Amino acid sequence: MGAAGGLARPAVMTVAGSRLTLDSFGRTGAARAAVRMVAAHPWIGVGPGRARFFWVDPGGHGFVARYAHDEYLQLLAELGFVGLTILLALLAALILVLARGRRAAPEVPPLWAGTVAAFAVLVVHSGFDFLWQIPAIPLAGGLLVGLACSGTTARVLDHPPLKEEPCGEFR
């Protein structure tokens, strides 16, 4: 038991040393590789789905990753500053829509606040993981925006129905 424990201890320390830290070499290596890719192709990136991130760890081992574990950096590498500008315009439009949803439904602030908070978490967490590659997650984000804006839809539906007028006879 003593010999086995003595042999296991270095392995446990190696795993614990790489896992019990705020730095993940895989993620930081991919992020550094993505930054290098952005520097090489700043305006239009390398193209959608074409980014592959290469780096070497301190031990000399080479790694390849498909995702940068940061959606904004991934988008910047694949679509460049043009793509990032379009994304920022979309986010600005969503913020305006969310603000209008709040004004349109002042009677449901907990619902609005909860959905906006959940959407904000999605936006922030996207900077630390590859969430948009799983279709259900951005779809859930869209549903959250729709739910937060449901007051604007309710206001439109409160109008009386249009008066039906005959258009003529069909023969």
Query: Does residue 81 have a pLDDT over 70?
Result: yes
Report pTM: 0.71
pLDDT (tens digit per residue) in 16-37:
555 555 566 678 889 999 999 9
d(C-alpha 22, C-alpha 105), whole Å: 41
Q: Which residue has the tokens 């795993």?
A: 15
Domain ranges of the chain: 23-155
Q: 74-113: buried (b, 16+ CB within 10 Å) or exposed (e) per residue?
A: bbbbbbbeebbeeeeeeeeebeeebeebbebbeebeeebe
pLDDT in tens, 97-106: 888 877 776 6
Query: Which residue has tokens 């900077």?
Result: 127
pLDDT in tens, 104-154: 766 667 778 888 898 899 999 998 888 888 999 999 988 888 888 776 544
Write the pLDDT tens digit of every residue in 44-77.
999 999 999 999 988 888 999 999 989 999 999 9
